[in-house]
Amino acid sequence: MADIDELLGALAAKATPPSLSIIDDEVMRGLTRRRESATARRGMVMAVAIAAVVGIVGSVAPAAPAQAEPLFGVPSGAPSHLLAD
């Protein structure tokens, strides 16, 4: 059986493969992609949750009766409106 110190010494004497020099960049790119997808997913879940809450509250909450009077039309107390009725 080989001595661990000899094996580690032989490993330290070897040159590092060139592919290991680019591993840091690949790992950082992967982490960035994962973070961006998690942020996008979180935003989508929040938008769906807000839409669901607004929809549920809008359907459950009592609504005010509809008004047939236009916002920028002739007021109901105007003389022309009273003569037309």
Per-residue pLDDT of the chain (85 residues; tens, 9 = 90+): 578 988 998 888 988 888 887 888 889 999 999 999 999 999 999 999 999 999 998 888 777 776 666 666 666 666 665 565 5
Does 81 fall in a domain? no
Does 54 fall in a domain? yes
Does 38 fall in a domain? yes
Collapsed DSSP state (helix, strand, coil) of residue 57: helix
Strand ranges in the chain using DSSP code E only, listed in sequence order: none
Does 49 fall in a domain? yes
pLDDT at 75: 65
Domain span including residue 30: 21-59
pLDDT at 68: 65
The span from the first CA to the last CA of the chain, in angstroms, equals 110
Does 53 fall in a domain? yes
Q: Does the pTM of the predicted model rise above 0.75?
A: no
Separation between Cα atoms, residue 8 and residue 2, nearest integer Å: 11
Separation between Cα atoms, residue 32 and residue 38, nearest integer Å: 10
Does 66 fall in a domain? no
Does 39 fall in a domain? yes
Query: Considering its fold, how many domains does the chain have in total?
Result: 1
pLDDT at 70: 60
